[in-house]
A and B are shown apart, each in its own frame.
Chain A
Amino acid sequence: MSFLGPALLIGLLAAAIPPIIHLLFRRQPKVVRFPALEFIRRSHKKTVRRFRLKQLLLMLVRSLLLALLAFAVARPFLRGSAEPTAALEGAQGGTVVFVVDASWPLAYQLGGESLLDRARFKVENLLDQFVGQAALVVAGDRVVAPVGEPTSDFAAIRKEIKDIQAGNRIGTLAEAVARAYDLVDEAPPGPRRVIVLTTAAGAAGALPQPAPATAGQPAVELILVDVADGAPVPNRAILDVALSPAPQLGAGQWRVDARVANFSDEPIKRLPLHLEVDDKIQVRGFLDLAPGEEGTKTFFTRIDTKAATPAAIVLEGDALATDDVRRFWLQPAPRIRILAVNGDANPTPQLDELYYFERALAPDTAAGARVEITVQAPDVFEQSALEDFDVVVLANVPSISPSQGRALDAFVRNGGGLLISMGDRVQPAELNAVLGTLLPRTLRDVRAAGDAASLDEGGDRRSARLSTFDRSHPVLRPFADPAGTLGRARVSKSMLLDPAADAGGTVVIATDDGAPYLVTRSVDRGRVALLTGTLDRDWGDLPIRPGFLPLLQQLVRFLTRVSDMETTPVLVGRSAPIPVEDQRVRRVSIRGPDGTRHLVERPTDEAAPWVFAATDLPGYYQVTPDPPLPGLVALPGFAVAVDPAGSDLRGPRIQAPEGEVDEVRAALAGARRTELWHAALLGLFLLLLAEGGLLFRRRPTGVPPAE
């Protein structure tokens, strides 16, 4: 008899609990002065032996109950056959190297045990029937060979195989098979086999093929064993999670997209999943998935965190729990520093060039970002250093000096953002001359909008509408219907751009008379946006339209490349970048999911990435400055996840080569186990009945009170 969970047999000690309780907690009898002691004495004589026997039986039954419970939980079973098969005996003198896949998908629970448990069982069963030499290679987080020399001492293999734990990585099986070939190559002459115990998906992966037969040695036979025995292994998994701001829903609103896959042949109806923040469920949802299909569930949530907060998307648990949760950090809102150059300042606030701009980016409205705006006049701008800013806005600025133009060029090429808006003061020729390398298109002249449209309509319209939108552009991502939101704006004037066919830039928004209204362009590491209208109401009414606010916020994020909160998890074993901007932090303490702390120094080479390599466990990694810095308590952390490529355990059914007498496969097929926990549960039930019978007492009746 063997046990699937032999460690649980320690529960047999629980059988001692009833006698211990009896001995330790014997109650002191209550003393009662009673007149009819004679009747008690007579009754006592007649019942004491039966009573003691009953109590003894009761204690025995209770001890047995606990012992049997521990026995059942340990999952006892009988092996199907312990006699070596004739075929295996024929293989005497052969060599077998077992390769056990211990990647994270092997934690899949099938029939109350993990696939890894099934692999163990199969190896043990083969060892029972095998006569020859064997070795063991394990493909876990890394490839190890606990029994690296073929040996006939199978006890060593049995011991090692018990200690195998499922890892957190995938993809080491091919290396393990190659290692097995190396081991088997050194074996003495005779049949040589490499038996790989893995999932159907693992067997279908690219595995190295054995070397052909040589003069002195037959070819090594590679035998792939599906530890699930072809049983269906349906699984559902979260593949990734993406966060993006949802300014259209209000300040602090974010959109969370969870991509979920159904790796099974059955459809899933209303699969429950939820978003939890700081271990509290925020939003629940359901998802329908067709067989083999991926789907995206979108949550909207408000995030007010000032510090990094752990969050996760969690699926309803299934047989493989590892991929049912995807963790990520909600990072503090990114800080965006804007230098806005006001080319048309006005003491009347509503007439000021940047009045609507500043309000659209006010801190209480800037969803997912902390915006700091510094407004300068053009002459002051000429003296400003741009390194302290993320975005420069030229609002109705007539012109800038060539030196500042060069500074702007360098600023953009190093990753800065530049937004140029038009106005009556703009001098196109001068701007073209200074910013020609940055402008998406050459500026030509101011024109009244609507002429072309009015010609088409045969009317006399004084304004144009925004009508053409590039919906794939990140700037317009927040808008479900840009035409409905932004299309109501009227444009009375705009800056005409060079219509050359080879003109650069991407037209994001255009008016209905065909003029580009918003054009963007990437310049090296930076981005430039050109608005052919104004940021105030001089050339149109877009600033007072509801869509202006999310448009501007998203535009600023686009220019600074912080449009999306980084949620891409680091896969187990890969290096995680340490996202610490503050240069004062030279060393961080990283606390892993298991509580261990690692100290990581910032590299002396500023250009070298600062990364953390010991990502061996999935989960949250918390980053704190070491030593602590005043005003800097928490730093953005990162999350580590298992590779979702392992979530699909399905694969083609493993077929034996035709025409071969395959004794090992025959032995594997005979590796049936007879589980005994059913019988143990029946025994438990009978014992409970027996205990009930022993405790059963007839309804008490007294002697008639009087007669």
Chain B
Amino acid sequence: MARQIIDRALLARLAGLNLRAGQVVEGVLTGMHKSPHHGASVEFAQHREYVPGDEIRHIDWKAFGRSDRYSIKQYEDETNLRAYLLVDTSGSMDYGRKGLPTKLEYGCQVAAALAWLLLRQGDAAGLLTFGHKPGHFLPPRARADHFWRIAEQLEAEPVGGPTNAVGALQHVAELAGRRSIILLISDCFDFDPRLAALARQLRRRRHRVAVFQVLDPDEMEFPFGDLTLFEDMETDERLLADPRGMRDQYLKEIQGFCDTLRTDLLEGDVAYHRMITSEPVERAVLRVIQGAA
């Protein structure tokens, strides 16, 4: 069954916000900043409302004459920001505490919210889903209706298999020709040490990279008591364990993993945001946009 990720109320609340990519990926703005390629393309795409920061010379005075509103003419190639949303659809993302969304649902909602914001301000947003290997790919487009294609894809994307975030990053590195924003939404449970190195490498290639690590509260609190037979969601491997006796060690392990990942990414100038599915999506996205991270 297709998951429901488009919360129109959420989108409406986010409508008043502009995604300051810089707050996501260190100050890369689009539509709000100078483009190094201004005038390079002449294929008209659409009008958009003038916002402070736009150059006055780009104002379409004819449109102003007709509508008495300042509008900026946008061309297909005008934007200098291509955003790639990489969404992890591996089996481990299918976990969710009772009453909360699964990690995949949560990640899709985050991806949709980010796509909505990007597209709304005229930037191009593309989507790459991945599990063991790269899945569906939607090239970045700045058209408003592109959001619905992304949303449809997110809703229909099957879940399962092991995580391979490194493969997805490698794949998108080949696709992204010039500098782009790469937003990786995953639980990062592939434990591949090359992940941080690859993200740093992309950063050196002037891409802006941000990792959104989506985790469930159960993973962070380990609230299990009795003897439990744990079954891996990706490999179906089983392990009998007494959660009470090992809880402290578990928490130490996952905390260490998250801290190491964060440190490695931040050292490579890669943004890192941890998102727990018990936190409302809106608040999590706002926290990211407002630079609380």
Contacts known (A705-B217, A706-B275, A706-B276); A34 close to B246, Cβ less than 8 A: no
Provide the B239-270 mask, 1 if CB < 8 A to any CB of A, else 0. 11110111111111111011000100000000
Provide the A26-53 mask, 1 if CB < 8 A to any CB of B, else 0. 0101111111111111111011101100
Contact A47 B231 (CB under 8 A): no
Cβ < 8 Å to A, chain B residues 216-235: 216-222, 224, 226-235
Contact A36 B219 (CB under 8 A): yes
Give the shortest distance, in Å, between A692 (CB) and chain B (any CB). Answer: 16
Closest to A705 in B: B276
Instruction: Determine whether B55 belongs to the interface, using a CB cutoff of 8 Å to chain A.
Output: no
Contacts known (A30-B228, A703-B220); A39 close to B250, Cβ less than 8 A: yes
Contact A33 B293 (CB under 8 A): no
Contact B249 A34 (CB under 8 A): no
Give the shortest distance, in Å, between B204 (CB) and chain A (any CB). Answer: 25
Q: Select B230's contact among A34, A46, A48, A704, beta carbons within 8 Å.
A: A34
Q: Select B257's contact among A35, A37, A39, beta carbons within 8 Å.
A: A39
Instruction: Determine whether A269 belongs to the interface, using a CB cutoff of 8 Å to chain B.
Output: no
Contact A31 B229 (CB under 8 A): yes
Closest to B249 in A: A43
Give the shortest distance, in Å, between B91 (CB) and chain A (any CB). Answer: 8
Instruction: Determine whether B191 belongs to the interface, using a CB cutoff of 8 Å to chain A.
Output: yes
Give the shortest distance, in Å, between A271 (CB) and chain B (any CB). Answer: 54
Contact B95 A40 (CB under 8 A): no
Contacts known (A40-B250, A706-B274, A706-B279); A54 close to B245, Cβ less than 8 A: yes
Instruction: Determine whether B103 belongs to the interface, using a CB cutoff of 8 Å to chain A.
Output: yes
Contact B189 A36 (CB under 8 A): yes
Closest to B93 in A: A35
Residues of chain B within 8 A of A700, CB atoms compared: 221, 247
Complex Cα spacing A44 to B255, Å: 16
Give the shortest distance, in Å, between B264 (CB) and chain A (any CB). Answer: 15
In the complex, 20 of the A-B residue pairs with CB atoms within 8 angstroms, ordered by the A residue number, are: A29-B227, A29-B228, A29-B229, A29-B240, A30-B229, A32-B229, A32-B231, A35-B93, A35-B95, A35-B234, A37-B235, A40-B246, A42-B249, A43-B246, A51-B245, A700-B247, A702-B222, A705-B217, A705-B220, A706-B274
Instruction: Determine whether A707 belongs to the interface, using a CB cutoff of 8 Å to chain B.
Output: yes
Give the shortest distance, in Å, between B242 (CB) and chain A (any CB). Answer: 6
Complex Cα spacing A40 to B228, Å: 11
Instruction: Determine whether A596 belongs to the interface, using a CB cutoff of 8 Å to chain B.
Output: no
Contact B227 A35 (CB under 8 A): no
Residues of chain A within 8 A of B244, CB atoms compared: 697
Contact A38 B189 (CB under 8 A): yes
Interface residues on A, range: 20 to 34
Instruction: Determine whether A655 belongs to the interface, using a CB cutoff of 8 Å to chain B.
Output: no
Contact A43 B250 (CB under 8 A): yes
Residues of chain A within 8 A of B95, CB atoms compared: 33-35
Contact A38 B191 (CB under 8 A): yes
Contacts known (A43-B246, A51-B242, A700-B247); A33 close to B233, Cβ less than 8 A: yes
Closest to A35 in B: B92
Q: Select B246's contact among A31, A44, A698, beta carbons within 8 Å.
A: A44
Interface size for B (C-beta < 8 A) is 56
Complex Cα spacing A530 to B234, Å: 113
Complex Cα spacing A37 to B219, Å: 10
Contact A51 B246 (CB under 8 A): yes
Residues of chain A within 8 A of B217, CB atoms compared: 702, 705
For the complex of A and B, list the 4 residue pairs with the smallest distance between their C-beta atoms, beginning with the closest. Answer: A35-B92, A51-B245, A43-B249, A702-B221
Contacts known (A705-B220, A707-B262); A32 close to B230, Cβ less than 8 A: yes
Instruction: Determine whether A701 belongs to the interface, using a CB cutoff of 8 Å to chain B.
Output: yes
Q: Select B278's contact among A36, A37, A46, A705, beta carbons within 8 Å.
A: A705
Contact A703 B255 (CB under 8 A): yes
Contact B247 A35 (CB under 8 A): no
Provide the A593-632 mask, 1 if CB < 8 A to any CB of B, else 0. 0000000000000000000000000000000000000000
Contact B226 A39 (CB under 8 A): no
Contact A37 B228 (CB under 8 A): no
Complex Cα spacing A76 to B94, Å: 63
Closest to A50 in B: B245
Give the shortest distance, in Å, between B173 (CB) and chain A (any CB). Answer: 26
Contact B230 A37 (CB under 8 A): yes
Contact A702 B227 (CB under 8 A): no
Complex Cα spacing A242 to B217, Å: 78
Residues of chain A within 8 A of B226, CB atoms compared: 27, 29-30
Residues of chain B within 8 A of A37, CB atoms compared: 230-233, 235, 237, 239
Cβ < 8 Å to B, chain A residues 286-300: none
Residues of chain B within 8 A of A30, CB atoms compared: 226-229
Q: Select A705's contact among B91, B247, B279, beta carbons within 8 Å.
A: B279
Cβ < 8 Å to A, chain B residues 186-235: 187, 189, 191, 216-222, 224, 226-235
Complex Cα spacing A44 to B228, Å: 12
Contact A42 B253 (CB under 8 A): yes
Contact B239 A41 (CB under 8 A): yes
Closest to A26 in B: B227
Instruction: Determine whether B284 belongs to the interface, using a CB cutoff of 8 Å to chain A.
Output: yes
Pick the most buried of B103, B234, B254: most chain A CB atoms within 10 A of its CB.
B254
Contacts known (A46-B249, A54-B245, A705-B279); A36 close to B239, Cβ less than 8 A: no
Q: Select A707's contact among B92, B216, B247, B274, beta carbons within 8 Å.
A: B274
Residues of chain A within 8 A of B216, CB atoms compared: 35
Contact B234 A706 (CB under 8 A): no
Residues of chain B within 8 A of A31, CB atoms compared: 228-229, 231
Given known contacts A31-B231, A34-B218, A44-B246, what 4 new A-B pairs fall within 8 Å (CB)?
A33-B95, A35-B94, A37-B235, A701-B251
Give the shortest distance, in Å, between A58 (CB) and chain B (any CB). Answer: 11
Contact A40 B248 (CB under 8 A): no
Residues of chain A within 8 A of B219, CB atoms compared: 34-36
Contacts known (A30-B228, A30-B229, A46-B249); A35 close to B255, Cβ less than 8 A: no
Pick the most buried of A41, A51, A698, A707: most chain B CB atoms within 10 A of its CB.
A707
Complex Cα spacing A705 to B216, Å: 9
Residues of chain A within 8 A of B257, CB atoms compared: 39
Closest to B275 in A: A706
Complex Cα spacing A30 to B233, Å: 15
Closest to B235 in A: A37
Contact A32 B224 (CB under 8 A): yes
Q: Select A34's contact among B227, B233, B252, B279, beta carbons within 8 Å.
A: B233
Complex Cα spacing A46 to B240, Å: 14
Closest to A700 in B: B247
Residues of chain B within 8 A of A707, CB atoms compared: 262, 274, 293
Cβ < 8 Å to A, chain B residues 81-101: 91-95
Contact A43 B220 (CB under 8 A): no
Contact A35 B229 (CB under 8 A): no
Residues of chain B within 8 A of A706, CB atoms compared: 273-276, 279, 284, 287
Complex Cα spacing A30 to B224, Å: 10
